[in-house]
Structure 1
Amino acid sequence: MARKGQISMITSEEVLNIFEESGALLKGHFRLTSGKHSNRYMQCAKVLQYPHHAARLGEELAQAWKDQGIDVVIGPAMGGILVAHEVGRALGTKVLFTERENGVMTLRRGFELTPGQKVLVVEDVITTGGSVKEVLEVVRKLGAEPVGVGVIVDRSGGKADFGLPHVSLLKIQIETFEPENCPLCAEGIPAIKPGSRAI
């Protein structure tokens, strides 16, 4: 059975090395999707641009779900698309992704889930887990059964709770600040939004 926490096939140090070698651990002043600010940012896209890294991380993440009878792997656009593709490839399943339409997470492009399908939700990085929770809501509304959550990087500090088994390849603590209490803002350093979704 999948368990909450890290899986042992690849070490945290190996994952962190892949991020560092890919230039994916950024330093600066960032506005996160959650609205908080940070002085560091994990840019998974810089890792996933290399197919050999994407394939390996997808295979490693899939290990925890090999015997769970997964029918579909799904992730939120944009960050979850490549992760879902590689995890789905490793598990031999169909792969879907959700998108926001008028600010609401939904399935588009003719994608379908059917009642009773066992679904694994994946994401590249979570801080609050908000996007994953939105995808879980989509899955449940369509009558499918979410069986777990898999992420490459968990930045939540253990705070993200999905009420399901939750597996990550790397747990990392990166300090975040509310905008009104951000020391980088106080220094007048402009904040940038490095991710795929504008605030």
Structure 2
Amino acid sequence: MTPQDVLEEFRASGALLEGHFLLSSGRHSRHYLQCARVLMNGRRAARLAEALARRLPAELREAVDKVVSPAMGGLIIGHEMGRALDRDAVFLERGGDGFVLRRGFTIAPGERVLLVEDVVTTGLSSREAMAAIAALGGEVVAEAALVDRSGGNADLGVPLHALLNLDVPSYAPDAVPADLAAIPPVKPGSRAQPSAATP
């Protein structure tokens, strides 16, 4: 699956949005990838996960004991990656000051984990999820994501394998271009976010 094929999947599902968006990182953008829409069709989700799994080095695919993803954004693609790799897939949920494991899910000490996200922008959610996995004794050996929109700048401390690398500019709240600031921002994600006010 080429990058153009992946983008076409997003376009076909109405998941590539244009406007003024406040990202979960607190940054602003003209574009937003609503991965929940591209994943709402089970066959498409499976197709994307299988393509992403094929991007992983063979030795990594063999090394992974479990797939872990943060809810909500990583839940569907994490489940599909578990299926593609024939591994159990569990998800972390927000609780207290970070991510927690619920629903009887476990991560055994020393278990090698593939962390799976829908989109990586700054890597904040990934690092929070990694901290929760490490606290349980798991070892994150790599991360896989549908989209890396960090421009290669997300510092995760492990290899990041993405199906699509998308260089979409994002702006700090005090650096939003005037034409973009003139449009009221929308918060399309599910994570609690800072105020949408822009300077």
TM-score normalised by structure 1 residue count:
0.90
Equivalent in the alignment of 1:7? none
Q: Does 1:30 align with 2:21?
A: yes
Contact 1:37–1:178 (Cα < 8 Å) also in 2: yes
CA separation in 2, counterparts of 1:24 and 1:142?
Answer: 34
Q: Which runs of 5+ in 2 are unaligned?
A: 194-199
Report matched runs for 1:89-108 at 5 Å: 89-108=83-102
CA separation in 2, counterparts of 1:103 and 1:184?
Answer: 35
Q: Does 1:14 align with 2:8?
A: no
Report matched runs for 1:119-130 at 5 Å: 119-130=113-124
Report the count of equivalent residues. 190
Contact 1:29–1:40 (Cα < 8 Å) also in 2: yes
Aligned mate of 1:146, from 127, 140, 152? 140
Aligned-partner residue type, residue 19 of structure 1: F
CA separation in 1, counterparts of 2:138 and 2:42?
Answer: 30
CA separation in 1, counterparts of 2:97 and 2:40?
Answer: 27
TM-score normalised by structure 2 residue count:
0.90
- CA change 1:70–1:194 in 2 (3 A) is same
Q: Which runs of 5+ in 1 are unaligned?
A: 1-9
Q: Does 1:115 align with 2:109?
A: yes
- CA change 1:187–1:155 in 2 (3 A) is closer
Aligned-partner residue type, residue 35 of structure 1: G
Report matched runs for 1:154-193 at 5 Å: 154-183=148-177, 187-193=181-187
Deviation at 1:65, TM superposition (A): 5.3
Aligned-partner residue type, residue 35 of structure 2: C
Contact 1:71–1:118 (Cα < 8 Å) also in 2: yes
Equivalent in the alignment of 2:197? none
Aligned alpha-carbon RMSD (Å) = 1.5
Deviation at 1:106, TM superposition (A): 1.4
Equivalent in the alignment of 1:197? 191
